Structures are given as structure tokens and as C-alpha cells.
């Protein structure tokens, strides 16, 4: 029933806007699985929306439905359900010779004549590159931005592969809004050309604003950031599970608190871990989880950055995969190959080192840099 409610709500919004002219400085757009705060709001947008409200910048915030999760919907966003499912339907009629970018641009131009003909906007800011091509088709004069939401590296398919910039970014002339200078350096050093040099703005992030420095109190509790999601193949999920189980059994003097990924959908049966005496499930606010644990364990979760920002070192599962090795090969994580026992024994030595490392990747949200990024994109056009 809730899905039907959001679809009907979305339908009437867009029908009304066929007849009502509206102009906005920014359209924000994100899938609903990014609603990760306690109040089911999007932490990646929250800081930017606050800036817009403080600076009287007009905006619309559209939210895309996610059929793979039951994530609660944002109370501050407008459901995009009607247009989203219409786009999926229309894609089926696009020629197979057309690229994904071309298809969505064509659909955008078509729907512009109906549901977006009286809606205009100067900037479009999305997460995970969602609907970049569609909104480029709706208004080719608007400036398009992709806001960083997780880790980015030199071989991340949606950004850069073998030095080549991803088509979805380049063909849409999209700019990146990044959280730290280290990410910008990583991309600019590994691209063939200078696209990123001219299309990246480092604005910082508000997602870690609540991270507070952890007092150095050492225990043998380990927070485990699980990454069992449909983003991985069944084989990859099984690799993570096998490696985790082996480590838990090996390091039996530690207690492991398993924290599910926001998009976990029973890809792996957790009972294989919970049957072990030194394993428990944990949920709630991440900050509260950190206060309980001195160490962090993951395959390659961005939670390693959040832990590092308050001095908590991470141990990484020993999985032989280029995809899972990014904290070593791409981010030069200090003491990457150390075991939980080694981290625990030398804990005071690693506390400040790991904080200093993380600060290069995640800086506080800078209002002036964000506002300047909008202006810079205009000047480049």
C-alpha cells in the first residue's frame, strides 16, 4: 500500500506541474536507499539542503524508489516514482544500437514536452550518477553534478577504468563534488587527459559531522561492517563470508559485533556466524557502535574512514581480489596487513596515524566551496 501511495502522490505532482510554471536553482535527486539517518533522511544531502535554506536557494528534492529494499522514504523529498517507472517502461522501446546515455537523453527530451515543459532548473545534483542522462535530456543547458557518497578509486567502473573516464560522466559533461583532496588527486593522476582536472570540486562532506573523537580506551570488541549486498555476485558474497568466518574462529579472544549493510537483503545466512560464542549482532547509531568497540573489521567498507576519523584502526579481511584491495592499492591505508592482535597490541601507536590519514579524504563541508562550484560550472560553460 505504501508503494501505491508514493506512486499516486508522484503522479499528481507531475500532472499538476504540467500546468504550473516553476523555476528552481537546483534539483536534487537520489535513490531512497540513501536515507540512512534515524529519521530516514539522506545524510549526503542534508548539509547541502541546509546551505540552500540558509542562502535562499530554491530547490526541488526528488527521491527515486528502490525495489530492492524496504528503506523508509524521506519526508522532505518528492516521490519520483511515476516518472521513474515510466522511464523504465520507455527504455524497452529504445533501439538496441543506442547507448544507455543516448536512450535516457532521448526519453528526457520526450518527457520534457509533457511533464517538464513548465519546470526549469539551473543545476542538477545527484548521487551514484542516477538519472544524469535523463535530466541532461530534459534540459541540456543545466549543469550536472554527481555528489560523492562512497569511496572512489582509479579503477571504479562508474568513474575511471584504465585511464578512461566513464561515459555517463563525460557524455553528460558532469562535474564531481568530492569530500577530500586525496580523492581528487587519485582521479587526476590516473586519467588519460584532463577531464577530472576541470570537472572536480572539493566541497567536503557533512556525513561525518557527528563523528566525535573517541577516548583511547582499549578493549577487544570488534565492530564488523558487513557488505553482503546484491551489488556483489553470489561468489563474492560467499568469499567475504568464508573469510570472515575463518578470522572469527582464529581470533577467538575477540568479540565480534556484526553490523549489517543498509541494503542487506539476506544474501548470506548470518546464523553461520551467530552460532559462534564470540559473535553478536549490533544496530543503532554508528557512533554508539564505535563507543563500544576499539577495533573495526571489514572487507572494504567506507566505515573504515569513519572509524579512522576518530582514531579507530581497521583490520581488512584477507580476500585475494583487486576489488577488495582498494584500501591498500588505492588509499595507502597505514598498517593495512596487520592482524587484529597486532592492532590491539600496538593500539596507542596507530591512534593518531589513522586519523591523520583519514583527514586527507574527508574534510568538513565547506559552504563557500559548494556555492563556488555552482558558479564555476556556469563559467566553464
Q: What are the tens digits of pLDDT across the range 140-168?
A: 999 999 999 988 988 888 999 899 999 99
Up-side HSE of residue 79: CA atoms within 13 Å toward CB? Answer: 19
Please tell me the predicted confidence (pLDDT) of residue 265.
78
170 burial type by CB count under 10 A (0-12 exposed, 13-18 middle, 19+ buried): middle
Q: Please report how many Cα atoms fall inside a 13 Å half-sphere around the Cα of residue 168, on the Cβ side.
A: 22
Residue 230's φ and ψ, nearest 5 degrees, are: -75, -5
Tell me what pLDDT residue 40 has.
86
Q: What confidence score (pLDDT) does residue 322 get?
A: 80
- Identify the pLDDT of residue 212: 57
CB 297 within 8 Å of CB 340: yes
pLDDT of residue 210: 52
| Spatial contact of 291 and 213, defined as CB atoms under 8 Å apart | no
Are 124 and 144 in contact by the 8 Å Cβ rule? The answer is yes
Q: What are the DSSP E strand ranges found in 301-370? A: 314-316
Provide the whole-model pTM: 0.83
Where the chain has pLDDT below 50, the residues are none
- Tallying the residues shown for the chain, one arrives at 381
Amino acid at each position: 500500500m505504501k508503494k501505491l501511495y508514493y506512486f499516486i502522490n508522484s503522479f499528481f505532482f507531475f500532472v499538476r506541474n504540467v500546468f504550473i510554471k516553476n523555476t528552481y536553482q537546483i534539483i536534487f535527486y537520489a535513490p531512497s536507499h540513501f536515507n540512512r539517518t534515524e529519521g530516514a533522511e539522506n545524510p549526503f544531502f542534508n548539509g547541502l539542503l541546509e546551505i540552500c535554506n540558509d542562502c535562499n536557494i530554491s530547490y526541488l528534492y526528488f527521491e527515486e524508489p528502490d525495489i530492492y529494499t524496504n528503506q523508509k522514504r524521506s519526508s522532505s523529498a518528492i516521490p519520483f516514482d511515476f516518472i521513474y517507472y515510466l522511464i523504465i517502461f520507455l527504455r524497452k522501446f529504445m533501439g538496441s544500437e543506442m547507448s544507455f546515455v543516448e536512450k535516457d537523453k532521448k526519453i528526457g527530451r520526450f518527457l520534457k514536452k509533457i511533464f517538464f515543459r513548465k519546470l526549469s532548473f539551473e543545476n542538477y545534483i545527484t548521487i551514484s550518477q542516477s538519472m544524469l542522462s535523463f535530466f541532461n535530456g530534459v534540459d541540456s543547458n543545466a549543469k550536472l553534478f554527481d555528489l560523492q557518497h562512497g569511496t572512489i578509486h582509479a579503477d571504479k567502473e562508474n568513474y575511471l577504468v584504465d585511464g578512461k573516464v566513464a561515459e555517463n560522466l563525460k557524455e553528460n559533461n558532469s562535474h564531481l563534488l568530492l569530500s577530500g583532496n586525496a580523492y581528487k588527486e587519485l582521479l587526476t593522476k590516473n586519467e588519460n587527459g584532463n577531464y577530472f582536472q576541470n570537472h572536480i570540486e572539493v566541497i567536503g562532506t557533512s556525513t561525518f559531522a557527528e563523528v566525535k573523537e573517541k577516548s583511547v580506551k582499549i578493549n577487544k570488541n570488534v565492530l564488523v561492517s558487513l557488505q553482503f549486498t546484491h551489488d556483489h555476485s553470489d561468489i563474492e558474497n560467499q568469499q567475504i563470508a568464508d573469510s570472515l568466518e575463518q578470522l572469527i574462529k582464529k581470533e577467538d579472544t575477540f568479540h565480534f559485533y556484526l553490523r549489517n549493510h543498509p541494503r542487506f537483503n539476506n544474501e548470506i545466512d548470518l546464523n553461520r556466524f551467530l552460532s559462534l560464542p564470540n559473535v553478536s549482532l549490533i544496530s543503532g547509531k554508528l557512533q554508539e557502535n564505535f563507543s563500544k568497540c576499539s577495533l573495526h573489521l571489514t572487507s572494504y567498507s567506507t566505515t573504515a574512514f569513519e572509524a579512522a576519523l576518530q582514531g579507530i584502526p581497521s583490520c581488512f579481511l584477507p580476500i585475494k581480489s583487486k576489488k577488495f584491495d582498494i584500501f591498500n592499492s588505492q588509499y595507502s591505508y597505514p598498517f593495512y596487513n596487520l592482524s587484529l592482535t597486532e592492532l590491539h597490541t600496538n593500539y596507542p601507536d596507530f591512534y593518531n596515524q589513522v586519523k591523520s590519514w583519514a583527514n586527507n579524504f574527508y574534510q568538513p563541508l565547506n559552504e563557500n566551496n559548494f556555492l563556488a562550484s555552482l558558479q564555476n560550472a556556469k563559467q566553464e560553460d
